[in-house]
Amino acid sequence: MLFGESETVELKEVVVDDIKKEIMRCLNQELTFEAAKKEFVIRNVEFGPQQMRTLKLIDQDNLYTNAGLLLSDQCVHTIKVAVFQGTDQTVFKDRREFTGSLLQQMNEVYDFIDFHNQTRATIEKLYRIDVRDYPEIAVREALLNLLVHRDYSFSASALISIYANRIEFVSIGGLMPGIDLEDIMLGISVCRNQDLANVFYRLHLIEAYGTGMGKIMRAYESMEEKPSIETTRNAFKIILPNINAKYETGNVSAPKDESIKSSAVRGEKSLSNEERVLEYAQSHGTITRNDVIELLEVSTSTASRVIRKMVKSNLLKRNGKARSTYYTVIQ
C-alpha cells in the first residue's frame, strides 16, 4: 500500500486507505517538476496548476500531495539495476541506481535495459531475421507494472536484475489483499496507487488496469519458455526469459545448411547493434549516422535512436554540427 498498510482490514478498506494517503499532503513542499513537464510536453498533455489539481498532485489548498512527490524531481524512491555475468549474482558486469521523478526513472531505466537487450541475427534462405533477447513490449509492461503497483511506503529500492538467461523485475509490495496470482493472470487488477496510475493513463503509458500481464504473455506466445511470476508478502517478481539464451549456451545447434550459411549465423549473433557501432568507430576512428544506417541496415530514425542512447551512455561523443556531425569513441 502507498505510505502505510494494515494487514487486518478488508480489501475495500485497504483501497480507500491507499487513496487517502496518496492524496495526503507531502511533508516536503519544496518540489520541482522539470522532468515531469518534459514528459508531458513530449506526449502533448497539458501540465499546469489546473491539471496538477485534477491529477491530485496538489490539493485544494495548492499544497503538494504524496502523489505529487512521486512525480517530482525530489522523489526519494529509486530503482537499482544490475547486470550479472552468467545466471547468478557471483560476478557483476554493470550496476546503476536511478533517481529523480518516476517519469525520469522510467525513461532512463528502459534505455539502460534496451542497451543490454541484444539482437541475435540468423539467416534463413535470402532473409536475415533479427530477434532481440527480450520482446520490447514485455520489458515495457514489466517496467510499468513495477512503477505503478509498487508499495511506496517502503524505502527499499525496486530491483531489476539482468542475467544471461533472464531479467527479473522485483517490485516492493505483494499482492493486494483479496487478490491472488490466478486473478492477476485473468486480468483482474486492484490498483494500489490509483492517482499514479491515472497519471500514466493520461500520458498514454497504460491503457487500462489489468492488461499488462496479458501483453507480456502474448509477447512470448510462440516461444518455448514463458514469463513467470513469484510473489511473497512484500514483493512481486516478474521473470522474463531470454529468448536467445538457448543459442548462447549451446543447447540448440545451428540449422544444418551449407557451411558458408552456418558461418554467417555464427558471425552475426555475437554482437549487439551497439557493439557493432563501437567496433566500427574504433577501427575507423569516427562514425556518422549514415555509417550506422549502412552498417546495421536500419532506418534513419532507428540509427538516430541507437546513436542517442550511446551518447547518453557515454559510449560515443558527438562532434561537429548539422551535416558535418560525426561521433568518436569515448576512451
Q: Judge if 208 and 163 occupy the same domain.
A: yes
Q: Judge if 31 and 137 occupy the same domain.
A: no
Length of the chain: 331
Note whether residue 253 is domain-resident.
no
101: containing domain:
79-246
Note whether residue 254 is domain-resident.
no
Rounded Cα distance, 141 and 40, in Å: 20
Q: Judge if 186 and 105 occupy the same domain.
A: yes
Average pLDDT, the chain: 83
Note whether residue 297 is domain-resident.
yes
Domain with residue 325: its CATH number is 1.10.10.10
Strongest mean pLDDT among 104-113, 125-134, 320-329: 104-113
Note whether residue 263 is domain-resident.
no
Q: Judge if 40 and 134 occupy the same domain.
A: no
Domain with residue 127: its CATH number is 3.30.565.60
Q: Judge if 234 and 180 occupy the same domain.
A: yes
Note whether residue 143 is domain-resident.
yes
Cell of 248: 548462447
pLDDT reading at 253 higher than 50: no
34-54 per-position pLDDT tens digit: 999 999 999 999 999 999 999
What 3-state DSSP class applies to 230?
strand
Q: Judge if 63 and 165 occupy the same domain.
A: no
Specify the DSSP element, H or E, that contains 236. strand 235-241
**Shortest CA distance to 281 belongs to which of 319, 245, 249, 312?**
319
Q: Judge if 51 and 173 occupy the same domain.
A: no
Instruction: Report the share of the chain in percent with pLDDT over 90.
Output: 51
182-232 per-position pLDDT tens digit: 777 777 777 889 999 999 999 999 876 667 888 999 999 988 899 999 988
Which of the listed residues 212, 246, 280 is the one where a domain comes to its end? 246
Question: Using the 8-state DSSP alphabet, how is residue 25 labeled?
Answer: B
Strongest mean pLDDT among 22-31, 196-205, 320-329: 196-205
Note whether residue 298 is domain-resident.
yes
Note whether residue 2 is domain-resident.
no
Q: Are 4 and 21 in contact (CB under 8 A)?
A: yes
Distance of CA 107 to the CA centre of its chain: 7
Is the pTM for the entire model greater than 0.85?
no
Q: Judge if 95 and 206 occupy the same domain.
A: yes
Which of the listed residues 71, 87, 105 is the one where a domain comes to its end? 71
Helices then strands, each counted (H, E), the chain: 14, 10
Rounded Cα distance, 244 and 165, in Å: 8
Note whether residue 235 is domain-resident.
yes
Cell of 67: 502523489
Q: Judge if 132 and 18 occupy the same domain.
A: no
Which of the listed residues 22, 47, 71 is the one where a domain comes to its end? 71
Q: Judge if 133 and 103 occupy the same domain.
A: yes
**Shortest CA distance to 167 belongs to which of 84, 246, 251, 102?**
84
Number of domains the chain contains: 3
